Structure 1
Amino acid sequence: MPGNAMHIRARLLIGLATFFDGFDVIAIAATLPLLIANWSLTPGQIGFLIAAPSVGQLVGALLFPALAERFGRLRSVGWSAGIIGLMSIACGFAPSFEIFALLRIVQGLGLGGELPVAATYINEVTRAHGRGRFVLLYEVVFPIGLMVSNALGAFLVPRYGWEVMYFLGGVPIVLFFVLRKLIPESPRWLAEKGRLGEADAALSAFEARARQPLPPVGDTSAFDAMTARHPRRRVRDLVGRAYIGRTLAVWMLWATCGFIQYGLSTWLPTVYKTVYHAPLQLALNLAAGASVLGVVGSLICAMVVDKVGRKPVINVSFVLCAVSLVLAGVFHASTVYVVATFCALAMGFLACGFITAYVYTPELYPTSIRAMGCGLGGAWLKISAIFAPGLIASTIGSGNLSVAFYGLAVVPLLAAVTVFFLGIETKGQVLEELEV
């Protein structure tokens, strides 16, 4: 299908949900220094405050993909966006540490559920040729959300207080009301459910907005034979003989992203302020700089992923991320600017592998289990996010961060090895061709 305006609309609206997923998930980084001061938080409470939303995200990463398989991709994204927005606004009114943490856990349901279902939908409405670039240019809104959150946090929090970040994070509640009215459901999901009339109508909604004449329908006999040859898969098949290698690669990939993202980026402003005694404004600015490199890395990745393939991008970026973290550990006793440079490089390289996961994971599974495959991958991200903040928390008191940096570096290195040996290459192939 030629490019069309409905694809752009879908990418913008689903992208808005993903943007605020990134915005809200990292808002704690900019607000944490003030929350620590306001509520006199201990290191243990700080670690819990960072990790607690991941409990909700873990549940959401399993719940919303299951809802997406049963009720549709758009319903699931709309419900998760509504929870994200409503709970963000409520966080801005939280009077205490306990209530704030509880609201963040509930918000985590939406934060954990939106990303895997959104990635599934975008993959399912995209043609094979150039799919990596199309999907990643959509997914780049997540690191942009991280960057904007850090940048606005650096500007707004010192001037207007921590609450303003959570009031801004309430925007996605609008999507709960308008999403299904403005873009069609996934034709692949509708067809999988036997709702062929609705699938045809959804497909026609995309075709009607095509900027060029539609090409003639080709010979579909090969796909008919493919459909007959491959049985309808169930969730248990994710760990069955056919998909276990792919699934292990996906789990390690997502766990690594969660471990570094939550074990490092959410702590950076606090580490710069507490360990290196940087002023609050400087600490926030340095953290914002790291998120800028994340966006740059994501854009570069989107441009090359269809040319060099998914696996090379993931493997090279994760190895370079590990090298940057090792260098941060070696030079941890240097100035805050040296450490911040290596941390920014690590976050930039991580972003390349992280964003590739959003196009790579849905490509590995058939339609019947695609959302759950993505959800289980996202669940491993949340599991690692629960435990990763403790690694930094255990070293922040001593001021020696070398052990933390070395420990963080091992994780992307292991992920690169796992994806290299167990992952498959998917570039340029129609989704149905990747079934086994």
Structure 2
Amino acid sequence: VAIMFSGYAIGGMASALLGSFLVVDYGWEIMFYIAGIPTLLLPIIWKMLPESLMYLVKEKRHDEAKKIVRKLAPQETITASTNLILDEPTKGDDAPIKALFLKNRGFTTIMFWVAFFMCLLMVYALASWLPKLMIQAGYSLGASMLFLFALNIGGMIGAIGGGVLADKFHLKPVLTIMFVAGAAALILLGYNSPQVVLYSL
């Protein structure tokens, strides 16, 4: 999951590198033109992206579904006579929002929501405003875009490394330590430090 999410960081690194070379000569608009290029790939994506397993089983396209199951679970024996059925939810199996607040889960639910909101706010703020803040701190546009590159490298290393650590240890201590380290790094970014230190932070 962490490797899949690191695609976001790879995109961030690519845009930061392109921006550091192109924005100076062509203005910020060039990045929006480049961002439009992937739409040309939509027909290829439409053709190559597989249907979901649930959809294939529901539509009784069992041969296609079995191919996917063989890839997902090669240890399973899938033959021509294997019957694939949907694990349909039974009545009363749903999870209404009020269930999040039952059995002393109210405080945990609220804190979980706050944590996710703050994470998304931080990601948006840093991705959108870090270059501008570094320009105001006296760095060139190219150098400021490289801060965004460094941010995304850190995001990718943190996501994959955190995933490995969470598999080995427990998710809660790993997340707690990473949040504390991230908060400390953000605070230290506010101080006038050598460029190497800022990139590391």
Match of 2:34 in 1: 168
Match of 2:51 in 1: 185
Structure 1 residues 271, 260: CA separation in 2 closer, same or farther (over 3 Å shift)?
Answer: same
The answer as to 2:157 corresponding to 1:296 is yes
Match of 1:317 in 2: 178
Q: TM-score, normalised by structure 2?
A: 0.73
Structure 1 residues 177, 313: CA separation in 2 closer, same or farther (over 3 Å shift)?
Answer: farther
Match of 1:29 in 2: none
Q: TM-score, normalised by structure 1?
A: 0.37
Q: Which amino acid aligns with 2:60?
A: G
Match of 1:260 in 2: 122
Structure 1 residues 136, 213: CA separation in 2 closer, same or farther (over 3 Å shift)?
Answer: closer
Structure 1 residues 282, 181: CA separation in 2 closer, same or farther (over 3 Å shift)?
Answer: closer
Q: Which amino acid aligns with 1:143?
A: A
Alignment of 1:31-110 (within 5 A): none
> Equivalent of 1:279, from 132, 140, 144?
140
Match of 2:84 in 1: none
Q: Is the 8 A contact 1:143 1:298 kept in 2?
A: no
Compare relative contact order (CA 8 Å, sep 6+) and give the higher one, 1 or 2.
2
Structure 1 residues 266, 291: CA separation in 2 closer, same or farther (over 3 Å shift)?
Answer: same
Give the C-alpha shift of residue 214 in structure 1: 4.4
When you count helix as a share of all residues, which structure comes out higher? Answer: 1
Structure 1 residues 241, 211: CA separation in 2 closer, same or farther (over 3 Å shift)?
Answer: closer
CA distance in 2, matches of 1:256, 1:202: 42
Unaligned runs of 5+ in 1: 1-134, 218-223, 346-436
CA distance in 2, matches of 1:168, 1:227: 44
CA distance in 2, matches of 1:215, 1:169: 42
Give the C-alpha shift of residue 243 in structure 1: 6.8
Unaligned runs of 5+ in 2: 79-86
Which of these two proteins has the greater Rg computed from alpha carbons? 2
Give the C-alpha shift of residue 153 in structure 1: 0.8
CA distance in 2, matches of 1:287, 1:305: 26
Q: How many pairs align?
A: 190
Match of 1:241 in 2: 99
Q: Is the 8 A contact 1:272 1:336 kept in 2?
A: no
Alignment of 1:11-26 (within 5 A): none
Match of 1:383 in 2: none
SS of the aligned residue for 2:99 comes to coil
Q: Is the 8 A contact 1:278 1:336 kept in 2?
A: no
RMSD after superposition: 3.4
CA distance in 1, matches of 2:189, 2:32: 32
CA distance in 1, matches of 2:101, 2:38: 35
Q: Is the 8 A contact 2:23 2:31 kept in 1?
A: yes
Match of 1:337 in 2: 195
Match of 2:82 in 1: none
CA distance in 2, matches of 1:324, 1:277: 20
Aligned-pair identity (%): 26
CA distance in 2, matches of 1:211, 1:335: 48
Structure 1 residues 282, 213: CA separation in 2 closer, same or farther (over 3 Å shift)?
Answer: closer
Structure 1 residues 201, 254: CA separation in 2 closer, same or farther (over 3 Å shift)?
Answer: farther
Give the C-alpha shift of residue 215 in structure 1: 1.9
Structure 1 residues 320, 176: CA separation in 2 closer, same or farther (over 3 Å shift)?
Answer: same
The answer as to 2:11 corresponding to 1:145 is yes
Give the C-alpha shift of residue 250 in structure 1: 4.6
